[in-house]
Structure 1
Amino acid sequence: MSSEGRVALVTGSGRGIGRAIALALAEDGADVAVNYRSDAEAAAETVAAIEKLGRRALAVQASVDSVEDDERMVDHVIDEFGHIDILVNNAGIASRGRFVADTNPDELLRVMATHALGAHHVSRLVLPSMRSRPRGDIIMISSVASLGFAPGGAPYTMAKAALEALAFTLAKEERDNGIRVNVVAPGLVDTDMGRRLVKAVTGITDIRKLDENSPFGRVCRPEDIANMVRFLVSPQAEYITGQKMNIHGGSANVG
């Protein structure tokens, strides 16, 4: 699954799923821009890990909900690497899990702005560069939350549903420009966010205690998500666009 000679921008890639995606794309030959919002140390560690793989890497700070930040970020990546072939819209935040009646409007706006509006901003900004390349790929990291729409998570599920709507629309708009747009939707993943969610919902502090009752005997790992992304941007997936891949091990417990 070669991405040799391609340049990827992965938002929110200092840690967790984003870091795993950035490393996987580098392993496949891509140079990678590592976006982060506030944790410069984590981003620097991801950059160092990519460089150890023999690829070029760049850490670029931007809060994706800011149009000005996004413009500066994309310009910086193109100035450094010359173009952008792959965009992974991964940056995200959790909602507080409250019912609609108890949700602060500021939370709704913040979650929507990060997941959906930010992805729209960055996608719009990279399109001119992608259209000049032999192939472009945009991957939206969504969630199986948009399958079940469980109570207590309206800001998050609304944001992910909007993100998916963006992906399916963009896939149709950009197909004639050689750009593929797909959605990867994880279930529960062993990340900082996943561990916090498990603790908040169940009181369990060790997410590995869920392995026994999880599909295939383990909780999903960031690398499972990264492997789907690296496939979708590979030559083997050149005829796939406008699709959503649910990565939950076939679990029926998605909502």
Structure 2
Amino acid sequence: MGDLDGRVALVTGGSRGIGRGICLRLAQDGADIAINYHSNEDAAKAVADEVRALGRRAEIYAADVAEEEDCRRMAEAALADFGHVDILVNNAGIGATAVGRPLVADSGPEPFERLMAAHAYGPFYLCQALVPQMRELERGDVVMISSVAAQGFGATGGTYSAAKSAMEALAHTLAKEEREHNIHVNIVAPGLVETDMGLALVKFTRGVQSMRELDAGQPFGRVGRPEDIANAVAYFVGPRGAYVTNQRLTVSGS
């Protein structure tokens, strides 16, 4: 038996990268998985097949987490399919390079609004949709996948850092509000991770074409991997995290 037998996890942005890693790790621990994706249905189906190969149930849900109606509809569909959702992993997002990493004073409102919608509004909408039913369960867990940028405040990343900081503020508040219902709310803050989004970032900021070019200069001689982040999530939502809430775990090798 696994640590998460009988539990259901909804993972946003679960079709690739960090999200895929989280889906597979939680499935290995016994959870059934509701996989959210934005547009790449084939990738989501592939992850679902990997989850099923581990002996767990998997369903996929297309939704733009920046849209309240999409979040509501996805939550309702997952609850109808599985009966309950006791783990919510807010992982979906867009990278800072998607809006060009403008200086704060040179940025219009659209890049800021776009990042806030993905990283702050989306988790807010999904918490509203799923936390009430978690109160009736034996245990609930919400994990926010943030970033070291939320507290790093690097130049040209102001809009992204602000959006991730808003996500973290939501988590800290929710943790205090829902503790009495045995709902745990925690944050995982990755550093550089070997994903498509991570590669786009280093191409833009460092002019490299491969993560391998960066390994030697990284802690422990390598760039972070999706499974490093997934391991942190598994700790928070598993039995070893039963007395842990309102915490932020940086996973950057530093």
TM-score (norm 1): 0.97
Aligned-partner residue type, residue 178 of structure 1: N
Deviations 1:141-171 (A, max 9, x none): 0000022201101111000000000000000
2:212 is aligned to 208
2:53 is aligned to 52
Contact 2:151 2:165 (8 Å CA) reproduced = no
Unaligned runs of 5+ in 2: none
Q: CA deviation at 1:97?
A: 1.1
**Residue 29 in structure 1 maps to residue 33 in structure 2:** no
TM-score (norm 2): 0.97
2:133 is aligned to 129
Structure 1 residue corresponding to 2:120, chosen from 104, 116, 119: 116
Q: CA deviation at 1:132?
A: 1.1
C-alpha distance in structure 2 between counterparts of 1:97 and 1:229, whole Å: 28
Aligned-partner residue type, residue 3 of structure 1: L
1:150 is aligned to 154
**Residue 234 in structure 1 maps to residue 238 in structure 2:** yes
C-alpha distance in structure 2 between counterparts of 1:139 and 1:34, whole Å: 15
Aligned-partner residue type, residue 95 of structure 2: A
Q: CA deviation at 1:238?
A: 0.4
**Stretches of 4+ aligned residues off by more than 3 angstroms:** none
Alignment of 1:79-98 (within 5 A): 79-95=80-96, 96-98=100-102
**Residue 18 in structure 1 maps to residue 19 in structure 2:** yes
C-alpha distance in structure 2 between counterparts of 1:208 and 1:83, whole Å: 41
Q: CA deviation at 1:30?
A: 0.3
Deviations 1:20-78 (A, max 9, x none): 00110000000000001111111111111101101000000110111111111000000
Q: CA deviation at 1:202?
A: 1.2
Q: Secondary structure at the match of 2:214?
A: helix
C-alpha distance in structure 2 between counterparts of 1:90 and 1:14, whole Å: 11
Aligned-partner residue type, residue 37 of structure 2: Y
Please give the root-mean-square deviation of Cα atoms over the aligned residues, in Å.
0.8
Alignment of 1:178-193 (within 5 A): 178-193=182-197
Aligned-partner residue type, residue 41 of structure 2: A
C-alpha distance in structure 1 between counterparts of 2:51 and 2:107, whole Å: 40
C-alpha distance in structure 2 between counterparts of 1:104 and 1:210, whole Å: 33
**Residue 176 in structure 1 maps to residue 177 in structure 2:** no
Q: Secondary structure at the match of 1:246?
A: strand
Q: CA deviation at 1:128?
A: 1.8
C-alpha distance in structure 2 between counterparts of 1:147 and 1:66, whole Å: 26
C-alpha distance in structure 2 between counterparts of 1:31 and 1:177, whole Å: 22
Identity of aligned residues (%): 52
Q: Secondary structure at the match of 2:246?
A: coil
Q: Secondary structure at the match of 1:91?
A: coil
Unaligned runs of 5+ in 1: 251-255
